Structure 1
């Protein structure tokens, strides 16, 4: 069985769409269809159910996909091990992260790491918490930066720190001149929020439930940076992380006077840590840089022992 057939099958299994898969692989649909037919004849079963020109991975396909992904991962690990033997500081690390972390946390860690290992290469992908966790789970990325810790028993969590939470309000709002607010103060306020699936949305709903009310969301968005314009326009208030030092804010931001109003953030990996040596080195570096160094190193003893990094 050719390596190319496994790659093409995995793409088809992920997309379940011949047109999308052929575009991603840069091969014609007839070529891809013939390759799938050859693979199915070799295995003696159909791997997809065909319904109205659509593909749906069946139970045989799901079994084969699991083995095909492991095979591709093993080959990738083999390539990386050889590359690492030739040059231990060279290798690609794929990172997934909440888009808001792309403004400060991820660039800061990557830039500091590149000062130590300038030949390291990074692949970066932003998204919602649920999407990042799934990418880690499926092996599409090595390390995910999310908040808060997801309920995922099949993934490892390495805490890095936490942000205090605030409430963004429109100019002239009754809270605008206050230094702090309580969660109960928000009960009658219309709210602007990220969509379900984003970490900050989960935290906002939890805090409101703790305060004894169900939040009333009037606008839902997919990017944290789009919350302030809707708040400024008067649609409602929004629970947001405390601004980073030097960060400009579009609307007044008031601290929430509650010790539980924090946004803990950290790293996700597959159980036991990422497979690649380069990713494990970066994981150890990021854990050592956090304010929770002792806890983080306890959570990833294998990663922390990969290499002694200067500084």
Structure 2
């Protein structure tokens, strides 16, 4: 059994499609098929169910995949530890971040201070996706604005930023005369919102449910600047963070008295996942950055 066989098996098992796996691995499909067949011969049982052109991971394959994932992750962490200790490179940091304005400022500031660090970013949008990547060892850290579930016993985290959530309304809206409102006052309003898989959408839906209603979404858009534009056009109201006013001073914002509408950002990482010197440096830098942020 060879390491290359295990890596090939892991990719085929994830995609359950030999042609797509061959393309991702940059190998010929016949060669990949032979490699998987040799692996099954070495183990003594088939790992996939095959029907015509389709393959599916069978129970033996599912059991084996769990061990392969763990073994390859352990080998990768071992490599990172050796490289880190030997000083062969200054280190990499794998991070899933948000679209928050301050995240871009943080990353730019960090890389200016530590140009030797290789920072790899992914913009996983959902909490579930971020947790999955942490558990699989694909990330060193993720930044999230939703509470970490108590069931996530393998995940550690630290809070670093709390901000108020406001309502953005058109300048001609009847509520503009008020500085603050109860959320129930907008139960019948039409909302402009980010997609369902966004953390802000999930959090603000929870606020509405706490106030006794589900928000009526009139339009979904991909980015917060577009949300702001649609609000100013009079297409509806929207939940925005307190930095929205800095991004667009022409926005009309109203504070929410009840329920308390705030979001807290956390930096999360997996227990027992090896963190390089660069990763430790990044974590310390992030905490100091937000501590000193105006």
Q: Deviations over 1:245-280 (max 9, x none)?
A: 742257433332347211111112113455444323
Please state how far the C-alpha of 1:84 moved relative to its aligned partner: 1.6
The two structures, once aligned, show a CA RMSD in angstroms of 2.6
Aligned to 1:109: 106
TM-score for the superposition, normalised by structure 2: 0.86
Aligned to 1:50: 50
Aligned to 1:149: 147
Please state how far the C-alpha of 1:188 moved relative to its aligned partner: 0.7
Q: Deviations over 1:94-140 (max 9, x none)?
A: 11122x13x422x3333333344331101111021322222112222
Q: Between 278-287 and 165-174, report the one with greater CA deviation.
A: 278-287
Contact 1:243 1:249 in 2 (8 A): no
User: CA 1:73–1:281 in 2, change beyond 3 Å: closer, same or farther?
Assistant: farther
Contact 2:96 2:130 in 1 (8 A): yes
Contact 2:165 2:242 in 1 (8 A): yes
In structure 2, the gaps of 5 or more residues are none
Q: Work out which of the residue numbers 111, 114, 127 in structure 1 matches 2:124.
A: 127
Aligned to 1:164: 164
1:30 aligns with 2:21: no
User: CA 1:77–1:37 in 2, change beyond 3 Å: closer, same or farther?
Assistant: same
1:280 aligns with 2:277: no
User: CA 1:217–1:82 in 2, change beyond 3 Å: closer, same or farther?
Assistant: same
After superposition, residues 153-302 of structure 1 pair within 5 angstroms as 153=152, 154-243=154-243, 246-248=246-248, 251-258=251-258, 260-272=260-272, 274-291=274-291
Once residues 268 and 34 of structure 2 are traced to their aligned partners in structure 1, the CA distance between those partners, rounded to angstroms, is 39
Q: Deviations over 1:37-74 (max 9, x none)?
A: 11111112222233563333332222222222222222
TM-score for the superposition, normalised by structure 1: 0.82
Once residues 204 and 80 of structure 1 are traced to their aligned partners in structure 2, the CA distance between those partners, rounded to angstroms, is 39
Q: Work out which of the residue numbers 139, 150, 153 in structure 1 matches 2:137.
A: 139
In structure 1, the gaps of 5 or more residues are 293-311
